[in-house]
Structure 1
Amino acid sequence: MTSLRLRKPARAGLAALLALSGAAFAAPAAQAAAPHVFAPHHAQAARGFSGDSNWGGYVAQGSGLKSISGSWTMPTVQCNTTNDLFAPWIGIDGYGSQTVEQTGVQADCSSGRAVYSAWYEMYPASPVYWSNPVSAGDTFNASVVSTTKGSYTITLTDVTKGWTKTTKQTLRSAQNVSAEAVIESPTQSYPSFNQLNFANLTVNGQVFDNYDPQAIDSGQYTETQLQNGAFSIIPG
């Protein structure tokens, strides 16, 4: 992935939003047509997760949150405008801290149709895109693991297509104070989809539910009740 931030006007409004957010995706080089900059930003603490947020899903807080893993299936999206952009992802940090260590998949509508791609990001560094093919309907397994202080192993597997990417990264300022399984639209403009299912979510090797994560709504989407490490994102 290049250093182009994923379509999100400046990681939150491209330039202005960057100041408010905490992560940024770049559009794959193959998407030459002015791709959106996807920049998953950190959750806006001022909103305290009440009402609409820039993240939608569940976020747990605490000290020593050193790993998260889980799976999801990428839905087929309907592009309503060329500004539509969204990504499901899992990660550590971003709420109560200024870094995010994360990996996920995005659907970018800047070309007039949904283009799917996979990425990881060690915010505030720019996101990195993997060139492996991604399609709607693919199931993904992902994990972000803090191996030692400031060191992370990030893995994303497309179970449907049979590929796996793993990277080892260092971010000394990371604090491991939150863990999340969420969707996000850096452009604050979601495409339409019927349902996205997260499953098999664990934190520090325990079921996600044990960490009493908070529910967050984003855009026109809400989340079902978290049960045994699984929940769905649905139109709200």
Structure 2
Amino acid sequence: MIKHSFTALGALTLALGSLAFAQPAMAAAGAHATFQTGGPYHVAPGSRIGHASIGNRVLDYSTNWSGYAVTGGTFTTATATWIQNAGTCTSGDGQTDMSPWVGLDGFSDSTVEQTGTSVDCNGASSDYYAWYEMYPAGVVIINKTVKAGDSFTGTVTHTSGTTYKLVLTNNTEGWTFSVSKKLSAKDSSAEAVMEMAANSLTKFGTDPFTSFTVDGKAVGSYTGSGYTIEQMEIKVGSTLCDSTSALSNEENFTTTWLNAC
């Protein structure tokens, strides 16, 4: 399993280039790296890349996140469905990762409540697994079957007080995992993300996310004053690693692998 990392906003100027270094397979894991906000730009940990505004939608570039988020309010529930695509693992590519997930927080604050799946490559060897995380606690592996091509639905809900419920269902294999955990958090964003948590993005083709809703509403419907819909793509240096499509039906999108980064 690839180690995931987190860079707090206050440490950003001291942590350039430090966000997501690969560790040996099945190493202990930290938190998934997240977006931060600073000045007039959205800032991915380790880099300041910039954005383009289109109405209430912002196109952001990150060194490790692609997908969609909504900000500008307090959110209770995020849910999405995705496919855990097959990873193409070859001996010359080293350690790579692709991790689709859904969650609350982490775009501009210091906690992340999330559940998802991953395929990591260590050379030609692949590792598929499911997980959840309540940062600043580390990643917890879900001991259930995960195969290439499986369909997953994840939901993260702030139920009451400091309690969050995380539910992950493998729609293909027929299992559901549910856990409740406590964390003091702000609920300031909700997101469905394809993350690169290693030095490079595992080759995965095109991956669909469907039914991304926040508090029971399609993410694209958050067009009111104060809300911002964040469309994210992974870019390292001048290389665009993957692309994120426009929303269809206000709740569906795809991420597409483009380049090794």
TM-score, normalising length from structure 1? 0.83
Does residue 69 of structure 2 align to residue 48 of structure 1? no
1:156 to 158, 168, 172: 168
SS of equivalent to 2:202 = coil
Deviations 1:44-79 (A, max 9, x none): 334616334321011110222110111001111112
Instruction: Decide whether aligned partners of structure 1 residues 20 and 153 sit closer, same or farther in structure 2, where only a CA change above 3 A counts.
Output: farther
Number of the residue aligned with 1:221: 242
Note the alpha carbon deviations across 1:20-56, whole angstroms, 9 max, x for none. 89x99xx9xxxxx743547411213346163343210
What SS class does the counterpart of residue 11 from structure 1 fall into? coil
The structure with the larger Rg is: 2
Determine if the alignment matches structure 1 residue 66 to structure 2 residue 82.
no
**Structure 1 residue matching 2:187: 3-state secondary structure:** coil
Q: CA deviation at 1:206?
A: 0.7
CA distance in 2 between counterparts of 1:133 and 1:35 reads: 16
1:7 aligns with 2:2: yes
**Identity, % of aligned positions:** 33
Count of equivalent residues: 219
Which structure is higher in strand share? 2
Structure 1 residues not aligned, in runs of 5+? 1-5, 28-32
Report if the CA contact (8 A) 1:35-1:108 is conserved.
no
Partners of 1:61 and 1:76 in 2: how far apart? 31
Cα shift readout 1:155-189 (whole Å, capped 9, x = no counterpart): 000010010000001102x1000000011112231
3-state SS, counterpart of residue 205 of structure 2? coil
Measure how far apart 1:140 and its partner are: 0.3
Alignment of 1:182-193 (within 5 A): 182-193=193-204
Alignment pair present for 1:231 and 2:225: no
SS of residue matched to 1:213 = strand
* Equivalent pair of 2:31/2:133 in contact (CA under 8 Å): no
Equivalent residues in 2 for 1:132-211, closer than 5 Å? 132-172=144-184, 174-211=185-222
- Relative to the length of structure 2, the TM-score reads 0.76
Paired position in structure 1 for 2:47: none
Moved more, 134-143 or 203-212: 203-212
In 1, Cα distance between equivalents of 2:177 and 2:243: 30
Letter in 1 for 2:5: R
1:65-108: CA deviation from partner (whole Å, max 9, x where unpaired): 11011100111111242310120001000011100000000111
What CA distance in whole angstroms lies between the structure 1 residues aligned with 2:252 and 2:158? 22
